[in-house]
Amino acid sequence: MRILVVILLGFYSAFSNAEFTYSGKISQIHTGPQYTSSEDEGKVFIETEDAPTGEVACSTNTSFSFAFIGTTEEGKMYLSILLSALAAGRDVVIKSTDDCSIYSNVADLRNLSIH
């Protein structure tokens, strides 16, 4: 019984922590009408200098690492932090969710910080 519990906890840990983590500089931030349609305006895509670590099964895009909606209050804060980091050449730490709901093959941004 104990062996079964250990095995199940191992599977839970492996699958519940699927995320990208990136620590470094942002190379570009993309937004605009070419990235959205009238139904889902405000998408923002983050391009990082290096590839993030970790794995998000749905995220297969090789250009963009993270995406978020920039028109929400939270999105406006994210965009402000990202623009500040890009302008100042500062490092950021970005983590994703394990979902690609904003764009079908780009991981959704979960949180970020500037260093």
Residue 24 identity (one-letter amino acid): G
Measured between alpha carbons, how far is 92 from 9 in angstroms, rounded to an integer? 32
Measured between alpha carbons, how far is 81 from 3 in angstroms, rounded to an integer? 46
Q: What is the predicted pLDDT for the residue at 1?
A: 55
CATH number of 19-114: 2.40.50.70
The DSSP H or E segment spanning 5 is helix 2-16
Beta bridge partners of 23: 93
Q: How many other C-beta atoms can be found within 10 angstroms of the C-beta atom of residue 30?
A: 14
Chunked in runs of 10, what are the mean pLDDT values of the chain (115 residues)?
49 62 95 73 93 93 93 95 95 96 94 93
Domain boundary assignment for the chain:
19-114
- What the block records as the tokens of 31 is 């937004």
By residue count, the chain amounts to 115
